[in-house]
Structure 1
Amino acid sequence: MKTSIIPIFIPHIGCPYRCVFCNQWRITGRRGVPDGNAVARTIKEYVTSAAEKRHWEVAFYGGSFTAIPMALQEELLAPAYEALQQGRIQAIRCSTRPDCIDEEILSRLKRYGLSTVELGVQSMDDAVLARAKRGHTAQDVVTATALLREHGFTVGHQLMPGLPGEDWNSLQDTTAAICRLQPDIARIYPVVVIADTELADMYRQGDYTPLSVHEGVLRAAYMKQAFVEAGIQCIRTGLQATEDLDDPAQVLAGAYAPAMGEMVDTRRYRILLFRLLDEAVRQDSVVVSYNRRDTSRVRGYGGSTVKQAKMCYAVPIQWKEDAALPEGTIGVTCRNAAWQIDVNTGTIYTK
């Protein structure tokens, strides 16, 4: 059954800090503060408009949900909980800050049927967090993750590669720290410079060099590959496209591309495939096979991997779909040898 999200956006509500990168109005494309009636209407609109039965999840996004006044939290949660009890939706989730989690907060969330909490982690480098004016530390992430696990919640971490002060060593340390913490899910949002933020001022003044789309893909691909190999489900890479984000007057620079997720998977699959081809390709022709669902990942965004392979290898390469291969597996066959690459573990097997 297809899982679908019913998003409830609460931008800039409850957060005690203004991070240098943050303009939630632009990111979410939504303005205004919802109330309980708005939540009830939104749930009804989504559920009644679907032609087929779905697994519906109400998600409170865009702010620091557990930091908003308790009365408003309960007003927003009440209609979602009612829909959950009635079986019209199947789950409730929220996003919040790592330093806005405690025993009382989690007890209240459980009372209203909420089962997943995503933490805005961004980085596990305290120097990077300080420069971003996050107002929390890496230890807050560790503590919040442990509390959420203790109370039986599904735990999500949201990461933001490319913040001021981050280099590859910092990125690698953050990635390793998240793998040790083992959240259930992760989202990766390479930094985008959005109008009307402090980061935009830093960029204009020459105090911040933003990631290019290419560099954002490299960093996100590194993180995602490490996460999937550690058994962490990566459910999104890159910001969801909105009318504001597609406006060049609003997105000034940085790693924003509507197809960021596909570009990141192209990079992950290509690294593993070319690693094998570098060792295996001699004078024989090669057949690269894959499940139909992996076609764009293996052949590359816009056919980029096929094109690059023609430039890198002198032998002919045939690309073909193979229904017998499971998704996430690449088959490579030469005249006298055959291999399979498990992209989700980074392992190469000889057949």
Structure 2
Amino acid sequence: MKRYIIPVFIPHYGCTNECVFCNQHKITGSQTTVNEYHVRKIILDWLERLNYAAFIEVAFYGGSFTALSIEKQQELLNPAYEFLKQDKIQAIRISTRPDAIDDLILRNLILYGVSIIELGVQSLDNKVLKKSCRGHTKEDVELAVAAIRKYANFKLGLQVMPGLPKDTLLKGLLTIRNIIELKPDFVRIYPTVVLNHTKLAKLYCENQYTPLSLDESIKYCSILKILLDNHQIPIIRMGLQATENLNSANVLAGPYHPAFGELVQAEIFYLSITKFLEKINLYKKNFLKQEIIIFHSNRLTSKIRGNKNSNIKKWSRIFPYFNLKFSQEANEKNFIKIKCDNQIYTLNINLISNI
């Protein structure tokens, strides 16, 4: 069954402080005050275009939903809950801060049919959180997760932001290890980009902050994805969603790319196939100059070849003595087949993260 998300953007609603990286108006492309009327109209407009034989979810993005007053939360949730009771939508999702969760808030969310909560964690290193002006601590995250887990009604998502001020690869790995221990139902990974008109932009212009390069961020996030994959924790989004407002004019610096998630997947395929080729190089010295054919399904072509054939170019430099060829075929979608020395080896892409 197809899944659709009806997005309702509430930029800066409920936010009690301004994080160094935050310019929600540019991220969401919305600056409009949202009320019950707007929410109902947004949902109706989307439903007119969507196929009802689908799983449809209303998602409140931006701001910190549960930091709003209970009355405002009820106002915004009410039209979504009406459509939920009529079975015109199947789920309601909200995003919020870890320090804006308690039992009263959670019971209210249950009353209005909310079934998915996303927490903007960003990091689980207190020094990184402080430097980023998050206004909450690692301990706040742990308390919020424990409170949410008391209720079976909710699926829990955690959002992280590699590359924040004072962040390092080691701190990022420790954050992901702690995320794994918290056992969320899913994760979003948003590498830190420098948006105009933010505190981070000021730090960047004053040479007090250096963002990750695109290449660094791809390698960084590849490691994080491998760790999460190994614990069966899905990543539902990697990299900021491309919008008309999120473009080169608004992104001052940092690893923004509209297809960032695919670049990370391509890096993981590169690492996996490279490991296989290294084994051939080690154990089959007599195989040099002979043909190696990598068979793959059409849908994997860009991931295996890399952006602008970057993976192929790197393999050509590293293994100049291999005659590498690539062939698309209608094989099982979860497998890559590699033919060499008249033998065919199969790589299960579901296990490629175990490299």
Shift of 1:294: 1.9
Counterpart-to-counterpart distance in 2, 1:225 and 1:79: 40
Find the aligned partners of 2:314 and 2:183 in 1 and give their Cα distance.
35
Asked whether the 8 Å contact 1:339–1:348 carries over to 2, the reply is no
Give the deviation of 1:140 after TM superposition. Answer: 1.7
TM-superposed deviation, 1:337: 4.3
Query: Residue 262 of structure 2 corresponds to which residue in structure 1?
Result: 262
Map of 1:236-247 to 2, 5 A cutoff? 236-247=237-248
Mapping of residues 178-217 of structure 1, within 5 Å: 178-217=179-218
Would you identify which runs of 4 or more consecutive aligned residues in structure 1 move more than 4 Å?
none
Note the aligned Cα RMSD (angstroms).
Answer: 1.7
Please give the secondary structure, in 2, of the residue aligned with 1:240: coil
- Determine if the alignment matches structure 1 residue 161 to structure 2 residue 165: no
Query: Which position in structure 2 is the counterpart of 1:319?
Result: 326
Q: 1:13 to 1:216 in 2, by over 3 A?
A: same
**Aligned with 1:286: secondary structure?**
strand
The within-5 A match list for 1:139-158 is 139-152=139-152, 153-158=154-159
- Structure 2: stretches of 5+ with no match in the other structure: none
Quote the residue 1:288 is aligned against.
294
Contact 1:97 1:121 in 2 (8 A): yes
CA contact (8 A) 2:230 2:354 kept: no
Out of 294, 309, 312, which is 2:315 matched to? 309
Instruction: Indicate the SS of the match to 2:148.
Output: helix
CA distance in 2, matches of 1:142, 1:339: 44
1:228-248 alpha-carbon deviations (Å, 9 max, x no partner):
221011011111112222142
- Within 1, Cα distance between the matches of 2:162 and 2:15? 21
Shift of 1:52: 6.4
2:59 paired residue number: 59
Letter in structure 2 aligned against 1:216: S
Q: CA deviation at 1:323?
A: 3.1
* Aligned match of 2:305: 299
Check the 8 A contact 1:229/1:344 in 2, yes or no. no
- Which secondary structure does the structure 2 equivalent of 1:44 belong to? helix
TM-score (norm 1): 0.94
Question: How big is each residue's C-alpha offset from its partner over 1:107-143, in whole Å with a ceiling of 9 and x where there is no partner?
Answer: 1111111111011010111111111011111122222
Specify whether residues 348 and 182 from structure 1 end up closer, same or farther in structure 2 by C-alpha distance, changes over 3 A only: closer
Q: State yes or no: 1:121 paired with 2:121.
A: yes
Distance 1:291 1:226 in 2: 25
Structure 1: runs of 5 or more not aligned: none
- Within 2, Cα distance between the matches of 1:330 and 1:159? 31
Match of residue 83 from structure 1: 83
Q: Are the aligned partners of 1:9 and 1:60 in contact in 2 as well (CA < 8 Å)?
A: yes
Q: Cα distance 1:344–1:33, how it changes in 2: closer, same or farther (>3 A)?
A: farther
Return 90-99 or 42-51, whichever deviates more: 42-51
